[in-house]
Structure 1
Amino acid sequence: MKNLRPLLLGAIIGALLTYFFCPRQAVEAEDLSSSMQQKAIVKPEGVITVEQAKALNDNWTKFRKPVLDSVTERRVKKEDYRWAWWSLEDIENYIAYIRSETPQGETFTGLRVYLGVYDENSTNGKNGMTTMFIVPTGGSNVNKGSLFNMTVQGNGDRNDPPLNNSGGSGDGYPQ
């Protein structure tokens, strides 16, 4: 019986250490949706007024449009796209898709929007036109064993398929 006590105490300590220091599985989708419903709505940083957005658009029109239009007019003989649009459903589905594709040990931290131009071999009738596409960002979780949970996260582009095929137009600020 005396030899059993240290063995039992060691097993309990080992179980506690395993519980606190081993990585846990990601939250299930049902738990995530219920926690999102309970979460307070917070205005994100970077939200600007409609007037500020229109001023930024006017500045783009004043300083960039003449130069870009001259190039586009020479190449494709029409006015280039000025904005992109995705439906809310497409964005939500894309975020859910990327979350489902994120392997354990990696993070999905945000979305980055890039400008692109369709080449002359494009089959969608948009040869030479501007497009925008969305790329997920994130990185690896690096957990180090310690008494404190410290996570180092990257914020680079992930190697997941980007989202393109937005609706766009050459018109000014979308109404």
Structure 2
Amino acid sequence: MKNLAYILIGFAIGAILTYYFCPRTVDTEEVVITKPKGVITVEEATALSNNWTKYRKKAVDSAAAKQGRSVDDRSVDWSLTDVEDYLNYAKQESKILGFDMTGIRIYLGVYGKNAGQSKQDLTTMFIVPTGKKSLSEANSVNLNIQGDKTIPVGPLNEGGGGQGGYPQ
């Protein structure tokens, strides 16, 4: 009977220690979201868009006119779901390829002659993941001095194009 008492006391002590020392998730914790570097005001964005219109629109639209269009796209939009899904996909594929994804790069492009009448020779933008080749975890000193480079994961394209200036 003495042994049974010791076992029960041991279980009780183990349960108490587990309760106090094991991490728990609490649904009431408030998530803190910090403002990323590079966020500008709406006024600054409007000024940048107006500058594009002032210094680039004429040249870009004249190139579009050669293709029989009055204006070219000047913006691309993706749904929030598409962007979040792409970032998750790019992180996963980067990891499989042995890269640490650290950012994205957005490129301007132009659809070629084989893109079909609705897109032919028009501007597009696409998102590409960037990062560094993963280093061995056994290495105690990180001597990787290379900059972030494009990771060979399929880029995100096929956003909706727009011709209007900011905001729209």
- 2:111 aligns with 118
Aligned to 1:98, which of 76, 87, 90? 90
- 1:14 aligns with none
State the identity %: 44
With the length of structure 2 as denominator, give the TM-score of the two structures.
Answer: 0.74
CA displacement, residues 19-49 of structure 1 (integer Å, 9 cap, x when unaligned): xxxxxxxxxxxxxxx9xx8763111110000
Find out whether 1:53 has 2:53 as its counterpart.
no
Q: C-alpha distance in 2, partners of 1:119/1:161? A: 19
Q: C-alpha distance in 1, partners of 2:80/2:47? A: 25
Instruction: Give the alignment of 1:137-156 within 5 angstroms.
Output: 137-143=130-136, 148=140, 150=142, 152=144, 154-156=147-149
SS in structure 1 of the partner of residue 83 of structure 2: helix
Instruction: Give the alignment of 1:36-47 within 5 angstroms.
Output: 40-47=32-39
Q: C-alpha distance in 2, partners of 1:77/1:155? A: 38
Distance 1:76 1:42, change over 3 A: same
Contact 2:76–2:161 under 8 Å retained in 1: yes
Letter in 2 for 1:58: N
SS in structure 2 of the partner of residue 121 of structure 1: helix
SS in structure 2 of the partner of residue 142 of structure 1: coil
- 1:89 aligns with 81
Bigger radius of gyration among the two: 2
Q: Which of 105-114 and 83-92 deviates more? A: 105-114
Deviation of 1:141 after TM superposition, in Å, equals 2.2
Gaps of 5+ in 2: 1-25
Deviation of 1:68 after TM superposition, in Å, equals 1.2
Q: Which runs of 4+ in 1 moved over 6 A?
A: none
Q: C-alpha distance in 1, partners of 2:143/2:81? A: 31
Letter in 1 for 2:37: E
Find out whether 1:71 has 2:69 as its counterpart.
no
Aligned to 2:101, which of 88, 100, 108? 108
- 1:134 aligns with 127
